[in-house]
């Protein structure tokens, strides 16, 4: 049986979510805006899912807008603020954001906005003093991630919100990787906007949500019908929204207990790997990290080859360096952390889920050890580390 350790890319959809979706795809296909009985039933399903998603983050259902996923939520949040005739036109992000934020920031910059990128230290943590000093009267929004998709490093969002509030600047939190893995409560965390995604928490793909705190003014990306209070017009994807609701509901109930058992497995994995393989370096330590994420740099080796050999043996992980124009470039995240190039080039991300078993972790360690031993025998540079 293959071992799936790429849960930060996407997760296995819950059986209960799929079961709830099938009748909505096959028979109960009415438009939730229709006034007839099946239309009203579809509306009820959407509103129930809205309550479930709101419940996951302590929001009011009215503060949730369904979108097509994390990327759209992020675009709606950031463009929604910048496209709204706001006179202050500066965006602050971190240097390690997901490309949904990074590329949008690049685009806004090309359109004339100021973008400030705040660096991180060697363990991936945000330079908070620098953030504080970069806020000006022109700052319209701070958009930062909660947990990094590559390293799992968790930002101190409470501290970011405290700084932002002192300067009266709104905060958008990219919680795509943390929602369902860490407790999140917008009643105590004063973010104005928060993006989450269904497929990262055992829901279906192509559905996400944006939390919009009451009184936050946003301009929609699209014009059309009045769905989602006009903020996301277009007929709702009822089956996906319902599957997302089921996943959010399970995550609300299970997150704490499962987080602890996933962390135990992850810690065990890192302990054995680093003791067996001398060239293995855990990236992101000693920062606090998502319980499911382990990014390990195998010094002197190339991550794409490791991932390929693991895949041939039925272990699915992800490379921290991508091949662009013929050369392996470490990701912008590892570069921002100034990880030694020899380690960054060999970075592999293993991301666990609530379905990962003890046996899978021990089998992975064995297969990984064999792969690395083989590659080290072939790569003379790796022997030096």
Q: Which residues are catalytic?
A: 323
203 is a contact residue toward ligand PLP (CB under 6 A):
no
144 is a contact residue toward ligand PLP (CB under 6 A):
no
Rounded Cα–Cα distance for residues 166 and 325 (Å): 44
Matching residue, tokens 């009451």 = 214
349 is a contact residue toward ligand PLP (CB under 6 A):
no
Rounded Cα–Cα distance for residues 113 and 107 (Å): 9
Phi, psi angles (nearest 5°) of residue 38: -65, -30
Smallest gap, in angstroms, from Cβ of residue 200 to ligand PLP? Answer: 7
Smallest gap, in angstroms, from Cβ of residue 71 to ligand PLP? Answer: 3
Smallest gap, in angstroms, from Cβ of residue 255 to ligand PLP? Answer: 17
Q: Which of residues 177 and 192 has its CB atom nearest to ligand PLP in the complex?
A: 177
Rounded Cα–Cα distance for residues 259 and 255 (Å): 6
Contact yes or no for 216/170 (Cβ under 8 A): yes
Smallest gap, in angstroms, from Cβ of residue 100 to ligand PLP? Answer: 5
Smallest gap, in angstroms, from Cβ of residue 327 to ligand PLP? Answer: 24
Q: Which of residues 100 and 277 has its CB atom nearest to ligand PLP in the complex?
A: 100
177 is a contact residue toward ligand PLP (CB under 6 A):
yes
| DSSP summary character for residue 223 | -
DSSP letters of 101-138? HHHHHHHHHHTT-EEEEE-B-TTS-B-HHHHHHH--TT
Residue, CB closest to ligand PLP: 70
124 is a contact residue toward ligand PLP (CB under 6 A):
no
315 is a contact residue toward ligand PLP (CB under 6 A):
no
Rounded Cα–Cα distance for residues 91 and 82 (Å): 9
295 is a contact residue toward ligand PLP (CB under 6 A):
no
Q: How many residues bind ligand PLP (CB under 6 A)?
A: 12
Rounded Cα–Cα distance for residues 176 and 292 (Å): 14
149 is a contact residue toward ligand PLP (CB under 6 A):
yes
Q: Which two tokens stand for residue 203?
A: 């829901």
Phi, psi angles (nearest 5°) of residue 109: -65, -45
32 is a contact residue toward ligand PLP (CB under 6 A):
no
Q: What are the residues binding ligand PLP (CB under 6 A)?
A: 69-71, 98, 100, 145, 149, 174, 176-177, 197, 208
């Amino acid at each position: 049986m293959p071992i799936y350790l790429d849960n930060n890319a996407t997760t296995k959809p819950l059986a209960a979510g799929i079961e709830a979706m099938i009748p909505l795809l096959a028979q109960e296909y009415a438009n939730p805006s229709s006034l007839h009985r099946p239309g009203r039933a579809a509306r009820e399903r959407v509103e129930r899912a809205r309550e479930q998603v709101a419940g996951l983050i302590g929001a009011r259902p009215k503060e949730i807008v369904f979108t097509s996923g994390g990327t759209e939520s992020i675009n709606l949040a950031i463009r929604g603020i910048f496209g709204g005739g706001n006179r202050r036109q500066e965006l602050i992000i971190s240097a390690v954001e997901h490309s949904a934020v990074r590329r949008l920031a690049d685009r806004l910059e090309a359109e004339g906005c100021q973008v400030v990128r705040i660096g991180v230290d060697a363990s991936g943590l945000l330079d908070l003093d620098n953030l504080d000093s970069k806020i000006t009267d022109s700052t319209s929004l701070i958009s930062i991630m909660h947990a990094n998709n590559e390293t799992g490093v968790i930002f101190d969002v409470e501290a970011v919100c405290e700084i932002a509030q002192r300067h009266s600047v709104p905060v958008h939190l990219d919680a795509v990787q943390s929602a369902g893995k860490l407790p999140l409560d917008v009643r105590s965390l004063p973010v104005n906007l928060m993006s989450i995604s269904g497929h990262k928490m055992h829901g279906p793909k192509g559905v996400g949500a944006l939390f919009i705190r009451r009184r936050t003014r946003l301009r929609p990306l699209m014009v059309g019908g009045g769905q989602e209070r006009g903020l996301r017009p277009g007929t709702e994807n009822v089956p996906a929204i319902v599957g997302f609701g089921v996943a959010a509901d399970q995550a609300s109930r299970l997150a704490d207990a499962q987080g602890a058992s996933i962390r135990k497995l992850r810690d065990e994995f890192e302990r054995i790997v680093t003791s067996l393989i001398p060239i293995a370096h855990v990236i992101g330590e000693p920062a606090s990290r998502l319980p499911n994420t382990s990014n390990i740099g195998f010094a002197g080796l190339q991550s794409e080859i490791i991932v390929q050999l693991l895949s041939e043996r039925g272990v699915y992980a992800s490379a921290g360096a991508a091949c662009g124009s013929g050369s392996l470039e470490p990701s912008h995240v590892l570069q921002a952390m100034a990880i030694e190039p020899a380690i960054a080039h060999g970075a592999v991300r293993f991301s666990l889920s609530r379905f990962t078993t003890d046996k899978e972790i021990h089998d992975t360690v064995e297969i990984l050890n064999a792969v690395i031993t083989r590659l080290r025998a072939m790569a003379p540079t790796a022997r030096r580390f």
